[in-house]
Amino acid sequence: MSWGPALRDAVARLAAAGVPDAPRDARLLLAHARGVRPDRVSLHLADPVAADDLARFDALIAARAARAPVSHLTGQRLFWGRSFAVTPDVLDPRPETETLVALALQAPFDRVLDLGTGSGCILLSLLADRPQAIGVGADLSPAALQVAQRNADRLGVAGRAAFVLSDWCAGVQGSFDLIVSNPPYIAAAELADLSPEVRDHEPHLALTDGHDGLTAYRALAAQTPAHLGPGGRILMEIGAGQGAAVTDLMRSAGFRAVSCHPDLDGRDRVVSALRP
C-alpha cells in the first residue's frame, strides 16, 4: 500500500465527520506524521506505507475527526509569517488577528504591553518586526505564559520579552508606548454557536467573560490609562457587532481619536485609541 490511497481514505473519513476543508487538513496531518513539509506531500504519495507511520497518521485523523484542531495535533500554527507553538492552554492564533499587528506596526513604539497574551503571537510578532522594542506579556493563565515563553525562545526575542501573571493590569508595572489586547469577547449566549474545534478544545478563559462579552473592555478602558505614556496607543481586537459598544466605552473613558478598523473580510475587527 502507498500513501496515495491512505490519504484518500483519510479525506473521506474527515469529510464524513463534517470537518471543513478535509483535503487540506488530511494533507497537513500526513505531512506531520511523516515529518515532511506540507508542500512536499505530493512527492511522497507513491512511497510505501510503514506500519508505524500509518498508525501515527491514523491516530491523527481520528483525533481530527473528533474535531480536535489541527494546531493542537501538530503543536504549531503559522501567524504573521512565523510558526508559533500552540497547546490547548492558548487560543489558536487566527489570521484576522493579524489586522491588529498590521495596525500596530503603522506607528513607532519602543515599549509594548500585551494584555491576555496567550501564545504571545501578537507581542512576539511585534518584537520580531521591531528589533529595538521591548515588551511585556500579561496573562491570568500560568500555562499560557509558559507557552508564550517557549515562543519567545524559539523566535529569538526572549531577551526583549518579559511575562507576568496578571489579571489585566493588576500585576503590571511601568508605562508603555503601545498596549495591545485580544481579550475574551464571546458572550456566554454565543458559546453554543461556536465550532466544535473552538467550543470544545480552546480555553474558555480566553474565549468568553461568561456574560455579555464586554467585561474585558470595561477593565481595559479603566485600567490602561495609568500605563500609557504621552501619545500612547491602545489596540484591541473585537468580536462581531461590538464596534459601537467598545468605541463608546473608550470615548466615555476619555480616550482620544477612537476608531474602528475592519479586517480583510470587511468586518469590524480592531478598536484603536490614544491615551486620555
pLDDT digits (tens, 9 = 90+) for 21-78: 999 999 999 999 999 999 999 998 999 999 999 999 999 999 999 999 999 999 999 9
First to last CA, the chain: 66
What does pLDDT average to over the chain?
96
**Is the predicted pLDDT of residue 176 greater than 90, yes or no?**
yes
Share of the chain above pLDDT 70, in %: 100
Digit-coded pLDDT (tens) for 234-265: 999 999 999 999 999 999 999 999 999 999 99
**According to the model, what pLDDT value does residue 1 have?**
81
Count H helices and E strands in the chain, helices first.
Answer: 11, 9
User: Quick check: helix, strand or coil at residue 121?
Assistant: helix
Q: Which residue has the cell 518579559?
A: 162
